[in-house]
C-alpha cells in the first residue's frame, strides 16, 4: 500500500520550480499530487507522479537532488471529524504523522490524503485492521 513520492530539493529562487515542471512536461510525466515547503534558502517539492522512474531519472540528469520516500494514500471521510477520527486512531497506536497533504480527487463522500508516518508499516497494518481504505500507487496515478 505504499506509494513512491519524489522529494526534490530546490533553491528558493525564481524559475526553479518551472524547471522541474518543464522537465516533467517534456517527458510526459503527470503530477498527481504535490506539496511545497520552503525556508528562505531552499524548498522541498514533494510529488506523486504518473511515472516515478522517468521523473526521478530526468530530474537527476538535470542536476536536481531527488529523494524517494514511501508515503500512504488514505481515503478519509469527507465530513466534519473525518480526519480527526483517523488521527485519533493513529495517536492511540503511537504512530506519528510527519507530514500530510491532500490529493485532489472528486470522489463524492471521501477525500484522499497523502501521509508520511514515522512507522509506515505499522500504520498500514493498523489502517488495514480498521478496514480503512488505502490506495495503491498504481491506482493513485490513474485517478
Exposed/middle/buried for residue 70 (C-beta within 10 Å: 0-12, 13-18, 19+) = middle
Q: Which three cell numbers stand for residue 75?
A: 481515503
Per-residue pLDDT tens for 44-91? 999 999 999 999 999 999 999 999 999 999 988 888 899 999 999 999
Per-residue confidence band for 12, with pLDDT thresholds at 50, 70 and 90? confident
Res 109: pLDDT: 62
CB-CB contact of 37 with 43 (8 Å): yes
Per-residue pLDDT tens for 23-49? 999 999 998 889 988 777 888 999 999
Q: Which three cell numbers stand for residue 106?
A: 472528486
CA angle in degrees (0–180, nearest 5) for 6-99-73: 65
Res 62: pLDDT: 97
Structural domains of the chain, with CATH: 2-69 (3.30.2130.10), 70-141 (3.30.70.260)
- pLDDT, averaged across the chain: 89
Per-residue confidence band for 104, with pLDDT thresholds at 50, 70 and 90? low
CB-CB contact of 95 with 62 (8 Å): no
Res 143: pLDDT: 60
Does the pLDDT at position 92 exceed 80? Answer: yes
Res 90: pLDDT: 96
Q: Which three cell numbers stand for residue 47?
A: 510529488
- Write the CA distances from 124 to 95, 104, 115, integer angstroms: 10, 21, 11
CB-CB contact of 2 with 58 (8 Å): no
Amino acid at each position: 500500500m505504499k506509494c513512491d513520492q519524489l522529494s526534490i530539493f530546490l533553491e528558493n529562487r525564481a524559475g526553479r520550480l518551472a524547471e522541474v515542471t518543464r522537465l516533467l512536461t517534456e517527458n510526459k510525466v503527470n503530477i498527481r499530487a504535490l506539496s511545497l515547503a520552503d525556508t528562505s534558502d531552499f524548498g522541498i517539492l514533494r510529488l506523486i507522479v504518473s511515472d516515478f522512474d522517468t521523473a526521478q531519472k530526468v530530474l537527476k540528469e538535470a542536476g536536481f537532488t531527488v529523494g524517494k520516500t514511501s508515503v500512504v494514500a488514505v481515503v478519509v471521510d469527507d465530513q466534519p471529524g473525518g480526519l480527526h477520527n483517523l488521527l485519533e486512531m493513529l495517536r492511540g497506536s503511537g504512530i506519528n504523522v510527519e507530514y500530510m497533504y491532500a490529493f485532489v480527487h472528486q470522489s463524492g463522500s471521501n477525500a484522499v490524503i497523502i501521509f508520511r508516518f514515522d512507522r509506515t508499516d505499522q500504520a498500514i497494518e493498523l489502517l488495514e485492521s480498521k478496514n480503512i481504505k488505502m490506495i495503491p500507487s498504481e491506482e493513485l496515478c490513474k485517478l
